[in-house]
Amino acid sequence: MLTYREVLNINEQYAIDNEKEDSGVKLLLLHFSNLSSTDLLLSLDKEIPEKVYNDFLYGVDRYIAKNIPVQHIIGYEYFYGHKFIVNGDVLIPRFETEELVANVLMYYDEIFNSEPVDVVDVGTGSGCLAITLDLEEKQMKVTATDISEAALKVAKENNDILEANVSFLQGDMLQPLQGKKFDILVSNPPYIPDHEYVENLVIDNEPSVALFGGEDGLDFYRIIIRGASQILKDRYLIAFEHAYNKSKDIKKIIKKHLKDVEIIQKKDLQGKDRMTFIIKR
């Protein structure tokens, strides 16, 4: 039998040879061996049990030869330190989106001075934004919407497992929110332009409804910005994640529809223009 080290080396090389992230192989080994990173390090020169090896090889085959995301093979992704269940009905949470959460928490402190607030996450997918905000800030009463029943099923499951308290509404964009008023709106809507190239790993495995945002990718920002005043209180914060090359266009849409607001645009940790915050004081 091979050692963990040999198994890891051989399969990381297999990933690299096939233009896949070798980090995916390590995640699969951690998952199937049920070892923590530290325990795996300490076990590198031990023999890998046959059952673990077979399960792991099956996972590696699905990841590398069948082009399936690691998160779908193991069934989860970590977001802001919380474990979220994912499947083909939701977008896999991306680490850039954690920065949106961190910024919303920061602006909440600045604008709302620890007061209770009503928060809505439009297009919640796995629920990662809504549930994390609910868990991180007890003063936030969080509602989340999605057009996809299948996505809401995943989000509700995450809400239960993580013992959060988010309310979910099914419907298109702001439609299920009519008649309600919020202090904070967050959204990471689908933002890929309809005809833009998308890599196979994404297009073959993640739902189109979570990816594409119309001809220029901005349809959902227009809908939210145009309808914002109907569902937001007098003082509010809107927080968007968006494509790296759309900051200017989003600013234009905001200026056209919202008066007397502060617009703050930020880069993500990779240096890409990624977030826009709209503050009305």
Which residues contribute to the site for ligand GLN (CB under 6 A)? 91, 93, 97, 123-126, 128-129, 188-190, 210
User: Which C-beta is closer to ligand GLN: that of 54 or that of 167?
Assistant: 167
Is-contact 129 152, C-beta < 8 A?
no
User: Which C-beta is closer to ligand GLN: that of 12 or that of 121?
Assistant: 121
Least CB distance from residue 8 to ligand GLN, whole Å?
30
Least CB distance from residue 99 to ligand GLN, whole Å?
11
User: Which C-beta is closer to ligand GLN: that of 59 or that of 93?
Assistant: 93
β-strand pairing of 182-187 with 273-280: unpaired
User: Which C-beta is closer to ligand GLN: that of 52 or that of 161?
Assistant: 161
Instruction: Find tokens 């569902």 and name the residue.
Output: 231
Is-contact 139 114, C-beta < 8 A?
yes
Least CB distance from residue 45 to ligand GLN, whole Å?
39
User: Which C-beta is closer to ligand GLN: that of 69 or that of 125?
Assistant: 125
Structure tokens at 141: 């009463």
Least CB distance from residue 189 to ligand GLN, whole Å?
6
Least CB distance from residue 207 to ligand GLN, whole Å?
8
- Which among 2, 25, 1 is positioned nearest to 14, based on CA atoms? 25
Residue 6 burial (10 A CB sphere; 0-12, 13-18, 19+): middle
- How many Cβ atoms sit within 10 Å of the Cβ of residue 232? 23
Q: What are phi and psi of 147, to 5 degrees?
A: -75, -25
Which residue has the closest beta carbon to ligand GLN?
125
Least CB distance from residue 141 to ligand GLN, whole Å?
18
User: Which C-beta is closer to ligand GLN: that of 8 or that of 151?
Assistant: 151
Q: How far apart are CA 281 and CA 41, in angstroms?
A: 51
Is-contact 275 242, C-beta < 8 A?
yes
